Amino acid sequence: MAKNKPKGNNKKKILFIFLVLLIGVFVAAAMYFSLPSLQNQLDIGSQTTTTQAAATTTTTTVSTPGQTPTTVVNTGTFQPSAVTLEIKSWGFNPNTVILLKGSTATWTNKDGVKHTVTSAGNFDSGDIAAGASWTYTFNKAGTFEYSCKYNPSMTAKVVITE
| Contact (Cβ atoms closer than 8 angstroms) between residue 102 and residue 162 | no
Distance between CA atoms of residues 85 and 102, nearest Å? 17
Is pTM beyond 0.85? Reply is no
Starting from the edge strand earliest in sequence, which strands make up the sheet with 142-147, in order?
Answer: 58-62, 70-74, 96-100, 155-161, 142-147, 118-119, 123-124
Q: What is the pLDDT of residues 115-159, one digit of tens each?
A: 999 999 999 999 999 999 999 999 999 999 999 999 999 999 999
| Contact (Cβ atoms closer than 8 angstroms) between residue 73 and residue 57 | yes
CATH 3.50.50.60 fits 58-161, yes or no: no
Helix H or strand E segment including 109 = strand 104-109
Q: What is the pLDDT of residues 24-54, one digit of tens each?
A: 776 766 666 655 544 444 444 333 333 333 3
